[in-house]
């Protein structure tokens, strides 16, 4: 064995060569020459006293020792990346990064930012939005608000509420159209986002759904809620999205019939996060706001 560990950079070269099975391709990825890769591999072979690669045709075939070292490098690199993010995070002061959907941030969180600042005056909360799940290890995200089945291994999972949908419309739309029963909704203009949920709602209501479903269609929940508030039709909404519109009177429920979706809402974070105290305070605030909104109660 070597008297001192070989440079970490040398193992990076080995990992690239092992993955590409080519010194030339590894060099292109790392921005060095074929010769530099070859020399690095020779130094590693001298250090470990073992053959790491053998030429087979046009490829450089890694030995079992090379594959083990490459895997060890990848695992070590992930640890270094994660610790680096944590160290950088600590140097930025009391800052918490939240990941969630843009519709949740716009429709539910934004009107509550003043209360959030009052509850956590010493913590700067950065909100990142997008449909892609944050990994909470190397992307700098501390806590995420997610919808799903709660199956995210390796993370602490805090259940919030089941996701329930129900139909709403603006007071102006209701005034223009008689809605005396669930059956009346089938003949009205609909606002579509998740078509299967509309079909499920009609089935639950015991009403034959229009075939095909007709109406304005959007792929963004915020646009669905805005369209309903503008009087363009009846929308099937999630309470989390419509809460502020219902509270302000811009939207009203047009049926007591509701449907529980296959997904629930959760807060998730790493149990070993260096910001666990701030995360817990934010989670407590979030739970309080959900209770205040009635989200923790059956719709």
Please state, as a whole number, how many other Cβ atoms lie within 10 Å of the Cβ of residue 283: 17
pLDDT of residue 81: 79
Classify strands 95-100 and 53-56 as parallel, antiparallel or unpaired. Answer: unpaired
* Neighbouring C-alpha atoms within 13 Å toward the C-beta of 177: 23
Given a contact cutoff of 8 angstroms between Cβ atoms, the answer to whether 242 and 163 are in contact is no
The pLDDT tens digits along the chain (299 residues) read 445 555 788 999 999 999 999 999 999 999 999 999 999 999 999 989 999 999 998 899 999 999 999 999 999 888 887 777 666 555 444 789 999 999 999 999 999 999 999 999 999 999 999 888 888 988 889 999 999 998 999 999 999 999 899 999 999 999 999 999 999 999 999 999 877 899 999 999 999 999 888 889 998 899 999 999 999 999 999 988 999 999 999 999 999 999 998 889 999 999 999 889 999 999 999 999 988 888 876 44
Please compute Rg for the chain using Cα positions: 27
- What value, to the nearest 5°, has the Cα angle with vertex 108 and ends 149 and 238? 50
Q: How far apart are CA 49 and CA 1, in angstroms?
A: 7
Continuous H helices in 49-194 = 64-91, 102-104, 113-119, 171-176, 182-185
Which residues share a beta bridge with 124?
A: 95
Q: How far apart are CA 281 and CA 29, in angstroms?
A: 43
Continuous H helices in 143-275 = 171-176, 182-185, 195-205, 221-229, 239-248
Q: Which domains does the chain have, with CATH numbers?
A: 8-90 (1.10.10.10), 94-299 (3.40.190.290)
Phi, psi angles (nearest 5°) of residue 59: -115, 155
Phi, psi angles (nearest 5°) of residue 131: -85, -20
SS3 content of the chain, % helix, strand, coil (to 5): 45, 20, 30
Closest CA to 295 of 122, 185, 145: 145
Q: How far apart are CA 40 and CA 51, in angstroms?
A: 13
pTM > 0.85: no
Q: How far apart are CA 180 and CA 169, in angstroms?
A: 14
CA pseudo-torsion sign 274, 276, 278, 282 = positive
């Amino acid at each position: 064995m070597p008297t001192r560990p070989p440079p970490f950079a040398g193992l990076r070269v080995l990992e690239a060569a092992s993955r590409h099975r080519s010194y030339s391709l590894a060099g292109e990825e790392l921005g060095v020459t074929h010769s530099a890769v070859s020399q690095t591999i020779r130094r590693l072979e001298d250090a470990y006293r073992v053959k790491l690669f053998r030429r087979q045709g046009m490829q450089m075939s890694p030995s079992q020792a090379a594959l083990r070292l490459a895997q060890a490098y990848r695992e070590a690199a992930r640890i270094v990346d994660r610790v680096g993010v944590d160290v950088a995070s600590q140097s930025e002061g009391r800052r918490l990064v939240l990941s969630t959907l843009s519709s949740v941030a716009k429709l539910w969180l934004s009107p509550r930012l003043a209360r959030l600042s009052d509850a956590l005056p010493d913590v700067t909360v950065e909100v990142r939005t997008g449909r892609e799940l944050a990994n909470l290890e190397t992307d700098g995200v501390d806590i995420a608000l997610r919808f799903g089945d709660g199956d995210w291994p390796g993370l602490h999972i805090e259940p919030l509420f089941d996701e329930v949908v129900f139909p709403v419309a603006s007071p102006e739309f209701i005034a223009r159209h008689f809605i005396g029963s669930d059956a009346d909704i089938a003949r009205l203009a609909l606002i579509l986002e998740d078509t299967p949920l509309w079909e499920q709602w009609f089935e639950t209501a015991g009403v034959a759904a229009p075939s095909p479903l007709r109406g304005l269609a959007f792929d963004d929940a915020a646009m669905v809620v805005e369209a309903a508030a503008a009087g363009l039709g009846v929308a099937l909404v999630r309470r989390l999205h419509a809460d502020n519109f219902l509270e302000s009177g811009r939207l009203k429920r047009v049926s007591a019939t509701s449907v529980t979706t296959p997904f629930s809402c959760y807060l998730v974070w790493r149990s070993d996060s260096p910001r666990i105290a701030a995360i817990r305070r934010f989670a407590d605030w979030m739970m309080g706001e959900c209770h205040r909104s009635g989200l923790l109660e059956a719709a």
